[in-house]
Amino acid sequence: MSEKIIHINADEFESVVLKSSIPVIVDFYSEDCAPCEVLAPIYEKMVDKYGEYIKFVKILRQTNRDFAKSINVSSSPTVLFYKDGREVGTRLNGFMNKPQVRIAIEEILGEVIPKEPMQRIDCDILILGAGAAGLSAAIYAARAKMNTVLIDESVPGGQTASTYHVANYPGTPGVVRGNEIIQNMREQAKSFGARIDDLKEIAEVKLMDKIKHVRTEDTEYYAKAVIIASGAKPRALPAENADEFKGRGVHYCATCDGSMYQDRKIVVVGGGNSAVEEAVFLTRFASHVTIIHQFDNFQASKTAQEEAFKSDKIDIIWDSEVRKVNGQGHALTSVVIENIKTKQLSEVPTEGAFVYIGTEPMSKMYQGQIDMDKWGYIAAAEDTKTNVDGVFVAGDIRTKLIRQVVTAASDGAVAGIMAERYMVSNKI
């Protein structure tokens, strides 16, 4: 933990934040919070770069809940900016990446930061993305004695790291936290010699040339083969006012924000494994959970469905989609749903909505260079080869039927081996 980061409580807020002579960034965080764990190293990275110009403060929301509520902070993490004793800029909450935090800081500071000099790194295999697929690929490529570099715009882990528990990963004792799997994979990849550069903002990707080129904010990478493992992100709720209430009633992580709904009624949107499993998890806190699903049956596993059906705290609204989110100030009050068969609208009172309606691939930066399907997933068969020579794809970003941690790791293993064979067969 950097000594430049100041930890305070509510009593110190006025003297440390409001009376500061320089701008202040304040992180309201919680313990045992996946997005908070993702933000922590980003915060460390930012304080090293901007600590001379802006004060970095952290407040544990769990022990300062009343104060947090008084300034309308109701989820973790929530990042606020202050200048000359008042809040400025745009609040950030939930899962954040480095570009989001950097841009928000630079909007407050203006152009006072000197540009960093660029450095160059050459390697055999460059892996884009450090989730289960990317780390698995790094393990296999590095073990094959390839000069392997893995870069990620966030911290290693992807969606796996933010999963509260994984109950079906082979070789684990029943249930394990996703972050534990990632930490083990990360250490294994490093033990074989892989280099992992996290918190890198990818500005440009060139895949068509024999030597591939990727530019970040401070480094230019040149590689003989590339494995794309950028993954996917949760799909946002496509309903009126959903963005406005993100982090203030609309959530995408039950582990992070479920505890704030103790003895309250909430809804879960979706019907796959994540939605049903998280609905069951949320019954630990909520007095009642209503699952809203667009179909008349779940797509979740039989085990997950059985747990949901036997809970007296859960009921289900079938064949329906959320059309609008209603609230007053910073509090959610209801969602408006439409029955997709009858087209009838109805209102469901709720104080919180947790959304699990699938994912969307992180593939925008590769558009125009590589074949994709109509949803943006990169086209490749089980051999992970793309239409571009020397470029492979693994994990949730690939066209495939099943997206699980184990299939991502499997893709990574195949991609690592295929990239190494590409290097050997082409005598590169």
Q: pLDDT, tens digit, for every residue of 339-353?
A: 999 999 999 999 999
Element (H, E) at 127: strand 119-128
Helix, strand, coil shares, percent, the chain, to 5: 30, 30, 40
Contact present, 38 and 179 (Cβ < 8 Å): no
pLDDT reported for residue 95: 75
Percent of the chain clearing pLDDT 70 (strictly above): 96
Residues 132 and 222 in one domain: yes
Residues 219 and 164 in one domain: yes
Residues 201 and 259 in one domain: no
Least confident range of 127-131, 135-139, 258-262, 361-365: 258-262
256 tagged catalytic: yes
pLDDT reported for residue 419: 97
Q: Does residue 371 belong to any structural domain of this protein?
A: yes
Tell me which residue of 421, 361, 364 sits closest to 392, measured CA to CA.
Answer: 421
Element (H, E) at 254: helix 254-257
pLDDT reported for residue 257: 75
Q: How confident is the model at residue 114 (pLDDT cuts 50, 70, 90)?
A: low
Residue 404: which residues within 8 A CB-CB, separation 6 or more? 168
Least confident range of 58-62, 110-114, 220-224, 402-406: 110-114
Domain count, the chain: 3
Domain of residue 204: give its range.
Answer: 119-233+359-425
Q: Select, from the ranges 11-25, 68-82, 395-409, the one with the highest average predicted confidence (pLDDT).
A: 11-25
Over the stretch 388-399, which tens digit does the pLDDT of each residue have? 999 999 999 999
Does the pLDDT of residue 225 top 90, yes or no?
yes
Assign 402 to helix, strand or coil. coil
Residues 42 and 25 in one domain: yes
Which of these is catalytic: 36, 198, 256, 411?
256
Q: Does residue 214 belong to any structural domain of this protein?
A: yes
| For range 35-62, the mean pLDDT | 90
pLDDT reported for residue 279: 95
* Between 1 and 52, residue with greater pLDDT: 52
**Amino acid symbol at 362:** M
pLDDT reported for residue 427: 77
Q: Does residue 392 belong to any structural domain of this protein?
A: yes
pLDDT reported for residue 94: 76
Which of these is catalytic: 152, 198, 257, 411?
257
Q: Does residue 76 belong to any structural domain of this protein?
A: yes
Over the stretch 154-196, which tens digit does the pLDDT of each residue have? 877 777 766 656 767 888 877 777 778 888 999 999 999 999 9
* Between 158 and 326, residue with greater pLDDT: 326
* Between 112 and 139, residue with greater pLDDT: 139
- Alpha carbon distance 133, 301 (integer Å): 22
Residues 103 and 145 in one domain: no
Element (H, E) at 136: helix 132-143
pLDDT reported for residue 217: 87
Does the pLDDT of residue 1 top 60, yes or no?
no
| For range 282-304, the mean pLDDT | 95
Residues 363 and 229 in one domain: yes
For residue 331, what are its two tokens?
């509090």
Residues 171 and 90 in one domain: no
- Alpha carbon distance 55, 64 (integer Å): 20
Q: Does residue 260 belong to any structural domain of this protein?
A: yes
Which of these is catalytic: 152, 253, 396, 411?
253
CATH at 74:
3.40.30.10
Residues 127 and 95 in one domain: no
- Point out the domain boundary residue: 109, 136, 169: 109
Least confident range of 14-23, 106-115, 126-135, 260-269: 106-115
Q: What is the pTM for the complete model shown?
A: 0.76
Does the pLDDT of residue 93 top 70, yes or no?
yes
Q: Does residue 245 belong to any structural domain of this protein?
A: no
Supply the mean pLDDT for the chain: 90
